[in-house]
Structure 1
Amino acid sequence: MGGENGCFRFGARLVRGRWFMLFGAMLIMCGSGQTYIYSSYSKVLQTTLGYDEEEMNLITFYRDFAAYVAIFGGLVCEVAPPWVVLLIGAIFNFVGFIMTWVAVMHKIPRPAAWETGLYVAIGTTSPNFSNTIALVICVKNFPESRGVVLGLMKGMVGLTAAIVTQIYLGIFPNDPRGLILVTAVFPTLFYLAFMFTIRTVEAERQPNELRVFLKFFYLTIVLALFLMVVNLLEKYIDVTKNDHVISAAFVFILLLLPLSLVIKEEAVLSGLETHDRLNYRTRYEVSAIDEKPQASAAPHQEHNKPSSSVSCFANIFKKPERGEDHSILQAMFSVDMLYIFFITLCGYGTGLTAYDHFGRLGQALAKKERLVSSIVSLVSIWNYYGRVYSGFLSELLLLKWKVPRSIVSTIMLILQSIGLLLFAYPEIPGAYYVASVTLGFTLGAQVPINLAIISELFGLKYYATLLNFAQLYSPLALYLMNTKFTRVIYAKEAIKDVIAQGKDPALVKDPVCEGSHCFRLSFSILALISFIGALISLKFASRTREFYRGDLYKKFRTKNSRDEDTFRRFRGEKYQKFGEEQRKASETQMGQHCNKR
């Protein structure tokens, strides 16, 4: 019985721990990249439902519109408990994609393009809830490792398309419509399974925390490498149904493998507590309510609520110090947020535009379709590496040398501008391949850095809303750089080619440009814009240099942890231990309790 009770207690401790919460968040993020899957099933929508190009553009518009309602998801996260937010995300995901699947299976009358677009938009909206709440809770549970956490979480989002595709091929190898069904079911199950796991957790602050994250990182690298190899093999060899099933099974095993780390870490912590007969708990102050003294009585707090709400708009331009909790409007109208806006515009806008035209550039260079498809797949994997590595790199530089995160952003934007120049001059030997790696890595690297900067400058009180507000910059940047600029220049180059061939441009539908000159002007200008973004980021680093030289995470540290605190090693790992005064006080309390008994 004692053994059974011990196992039960350990199991209860396991699911309540923040490492299990991190594991659940990683799986949720694996199902939060529905936007990246659209290109894989859009052709199925067009061929099955018989939509023309104009109708498909309308559906794409609905999909993109879902990104603009992301800020409402952030507002919901501010007021609703995490399980409610995840439940909303699960409902949106299942309803949106199951209706899309029902339509392509002809189980309902053929919907109009706007109806299908609405279904896709509903399904694509779900990450606005699941993605946001998982990120915010993880940052609040690991505030002193937020760069690493954001990189790891966002990296898993980048693998969504590859993961879902492998699972779909294992179940419906000969039916592309099955991808939509898997997209409806797979993320929904994860949202519901970890609905009550994603929450703020009171847990130990460990000096070996970064080492544990590195172990998670290594396991996700194995997953990314496996997906990359499988993806390439599928394009160059004939793969049987059994091969797809085995591949899908391996993906599931690799997804569950981090659970072994969670069990090991909780077992070590449990053993340490048993060894010392003390329970070390660190309470993170992750909200403004926790950070303020609780001296005032409840009636007095209620009396002050109206005045604080009235002063909300009056204090928009009376902002607190960097690192303190800002209101939503204070953050939005700050000069720091303006810097972030321009950095994002120059970085995301140019990178996403190049990514969108990658296939067309390969076509212009007369590359084989299979090769272009393989390179595009590899860009997604490099995007994952960029997200994860930049999170770890910026965190290490910050911890060791107090280097502002925007310095890393500056380096990435410079590398991105070099990659864009290589795209502009693809006749250089190997330029197309080197540029693809550079673009994928640098584009992914910008994501966790910008999100970490926002959390550090403006606090975590309204991080859910500010997170989604900043992510609105991406579709805006893509619209300006892509739709209004690059596509226009490409169309002009294509018309020049048609005229050079002696044809009437008016008689040619959807003219295509061929040759290395097609994107030379547009990508050269994009490279210049990216470099300007690097200069802005460098200026931003200078502006925030003094802030990053200070102790950013002082308010998150335990009240019990002081300079004279000691540390203890257990099974090769290092864990925080109370100072001698706290130990004596705890032992005295335990002795008094025993005497009373």
Structure 2
Amino acid sequence: MFSKEKWSFESHVLSGRWFTIFASVLIMSVNGATYLFGVYSNDIKSSLGYDQTTLNLVSFFKDLGGNLGIISGLINEITPPWVVLAIGAAMNFFGYFMIWLAVTGRTASPHVWQMCLYIWIGADSQAFANTGSLITCVKNFPESRGIVLGLLKGFVGLSGAIMTQLYHALHGNNTKSLVLFIAWLPAAVSVVFLRTVRIVKVSRRHEKDVRIFYDVLYSSLALAAFLMVVIIVENRQEFYEWKNSKNGCSDAKIVPEDENTFNQQTPVSCIKNVFSPPPRGEDYTILQALFSIDMLILFIATSCGIGGTLTAIDNLGQIAKFLGYNTNTITTFVSLVSIWNYLGRVASGFASEILLTKYKFPRPLMLTFVLLFSCIGHLLIAFPVPNSLYVASVIIGFCFGAQWPLLFAVISEVFGLKYYSTLFQFGAVASPVGAYVLNVKVAGHLYDKEAIKQLGVKGLVRKAGEDLTCLGVEGDNYEKVERKYFYRETIEPD
């Protein structure tokens, strides 16, 4: 039997803010399903007969759902975190379960708008998980917000590699089963930790807090290194096959959950003071922040920066396919993006905190450097050389991840923490806006245009219900492309 003292200690641990960090780490570790779209996107395309523009439209709604978390932010303003997490768990299971039914043929082929709705619901659950756990942790550790953001958002990025390896262990190369896997696993983890994620107030900052965060960082780095080794080992045999083919043919007080501390404060006339914001760093109202020049600059930078890298990530499956890589290698690229996405998040979170504290190096300037670095990855995709897609995956993944903690830390520093749950989500909205313009209107349009051109050169016409695939451009020698694909499909079957 448990003694009273032991039970009291366990209760203290479970209700403390550090257990909230632990629970949030686990929730974040399985809530990066949106980054796995490149693995199963070809299943959606082939099963439902989509062209690239239609697939990118579905991808846009995935990005919109993953970043349009305004509703979750508003709900979190008036409810305890467990309510937000519960809603997110239900949405995650429903959305991805319906997609799994569609791609496996267990239901009638859905309309495009239905697929967009399903993936929006499933992806929007990620915003609920972020709001319920990440926002809570930032409020529990406001003095280390950069570190908390970098660490937890890093686990979101790493979740792609974690879930990929778990899926390989359970389902092999059956990518359709991955959709069912990401339907139930994130929902199950959120449900398990519903009552342990809570806002905890502390009277003072403990000196050992940062040291503990570094211990968590080292553990996560070890996990990332392990996953990288696993990926290398998994693809070693594929390298030899590629080489052979080339030679052959060319102290704490818990805030009661039913108590809304924000609503007890004196209300402010938000309409009257919209264009009279307080000094930067103080608490802005929601409208003051939205109509400020600072938010406009952040919106434009995020639309171009995160939207551009997200376009490359979402189309990674198609990029790898028309460069001649098989399905196993595509999962490698997705895992590389995931691991370096994680490294980018933790690196920018910890580094920005250190540079700001010791050298007064501003986070917006660091964000600018990250945006410039991402251009190298885009150039490697636009002008590929042998194996350049591996390097591009690393750069794109790192830069995509590095932008998020910087963006959210800047929002908290400029506009304050009073309405951070909502402003956090408004900052994220710019990502799907940029992805829609660059992914659907630019990348998808150009992809389909080139694919139709290739069909015309070969004297073929696209059949109704047939997916539209571009085989890449090697001058006008499409026969060479076809021979390359025939060889890969017969020698290296998926």
User: Normalization by structure 2: what TM-score?
Assistant: 0.80
How far is the alpha carbon of 1:111 from its aligned partner? 4.9
1:398 to 356, 368, 390: 356
Q: d(CA) in 2 for partners of 1:106 and 1:417? A: 40
Which residue of structure 1 aligns with residue 406 of structure 2? 449
2:338 to 347, 357, 380: 380
Q: d(CA) in 2 for partners of 1:370 and 1:354? A: 19
How far is the alpha carbon of 1:195 from its aligned partner? 1.2
SS at match of 2:3: helix
Q: d(CA) in 2 for partners of 1:477 and 1:130? A: 23
> How well do the aligned residues superpose, as a CA RMSD in angstroms?
3.5
Which residue of structure 2 aligns with residue 198 of structure 1? 197
The answer to whether the 8 A contact 2:67-2:431 is kept is no
Partner deviation per Cα, 1:413-450 (whole Å, 9 max, x = no partner): 222223334444434x7755444322221221111001
The answer to whether the 8 A contact 1:21-1:198 is kept is yes
2:423 to 426, 449, 466: 466
The answer to whether the 8 A contact 2:160-2:335 is kept is no
The answer to whether the 8 A contact 1:95-1:123 is kept is yes
1:513 to 453, 458, 472: 472
Q: d(CA) in 1 for partners of 2:105 and 2:453? A: 43
1 or 2 for the larger relative contact order (CA 8 Å, sep ≥6)? 2
The answer to whether the 8 A contact 2:56-2:439 is kept is no
Q: d(CA) in 1 for partners of 2:378 and 2:364? A: 21
The answer to whether the 8 A contact 1:495-1:505 is kept is no
Q: d(CA) in 1 for partners of 2:106 and 2:462? A: 40
How far is the alpha carbon of 1:128 from its aligned partner? 1.9
Larger Rg: 1
The answer to whether the 8 A contact 1:379-1:437 is kept is yes
Counterparts in 2 of 1:419 and 1:57: CA distance versus 1, 3 Å: closer
Q: d(CA) in 1 for partners of 2:67 and 2:368? A: 27
How far is the alpha carbon of 1:180 from its aligned partner? 3.1
SS at match of 1:196: helix
Q: Specify the code of the residue in structure 2 equivalent to 1:316.
A: V
Which residue of structure 2 aligns with residue 20 of structure 1? 19
- Matching of residue 477 in structure 1 with residue 477 in structure 2: no
Which residue of structure 1 aligns with residue 91 of structure 2? 92
Counterparts in 2 of 1:480 and 1:112: CA distance versus 1, 3 Å: closer
Q: d(CA) in 2 for partners of 1:226 and 1:397? A: 28
Gaps of 5+ in 2: 239-250, 477-494
Q: Percent identity?
A: 43
Q: d(CA) in 2 for partners of 1:291 and 1:401? A: 34
Q: Specify the code of the residue in structure 2 equivalent to 1:441.
A: F
The answer to whether the 8 A contact 2:349-2:405 is kept is yes
Q: Specify the code of the residue in structure 1 equivalent to 2:49.
A: D
Which residue of structure 1 aligns with residue 36 of structure 2? 37
Q: Specify the code of the residue in structure 2 equivalent to 1:461.
A: K
Counterparts in 2 of 1:439 and 1:496: CA distance versus 1, 3 Å: same
Partner deviation per Cα, 1:260-298 (whole Å, 9 max, x = no partner): xxxxxxxxxxxxxxxxxxxx55999xxxx9799xxxxx9
The answer to whether the 8 A contact 1:498-1:511 is kept is no
Which residue of structure 2 aligns with residue 326 of structure 1? 284
How far is the alpha carbon of 1:368 from its aligned partner? 6.6
How far is the alpha carbon of 1:511 from its aligned partner? 4.9
Partner deviation per Cα, 1:171-227 (whole Å, 9 max, x = no partner): 444754443333232112221221121111134522222221111011111222222
How far is the alpha carbon of 1:236 from its aligned partner? 4.6
Task: Please show how residues 166-181 of structure 1 align to structure 2 within 5 Å.
Answer: 166-173=165-172, 176-181=175-180
Counterparts in 2 of 1:76 and 1:516: CA distance versus 1, 3 Å: farther
| More deviation, 51-60/34-43 | 51-60
Which residue of structure 2 aligns with residue 344 of structure 1? 302
Task: Please show how residues 86-485 of structure 1 align to structure 2 within 5 Å.
Answer: 86-101=85-100, 111-173=110-172, 176-203=175-202, 205-236=205-236, 305=267, 308=268, 311-362=269-320, 371=329, 373-427=331-385, 432-485=389-442
Q: d(CA) in 1 for partners of 2:15 and 2:317? A: 46
Which residue of structure 1 aligns with residue 50 of structure 2? 53
SS at match of 1:126: helix
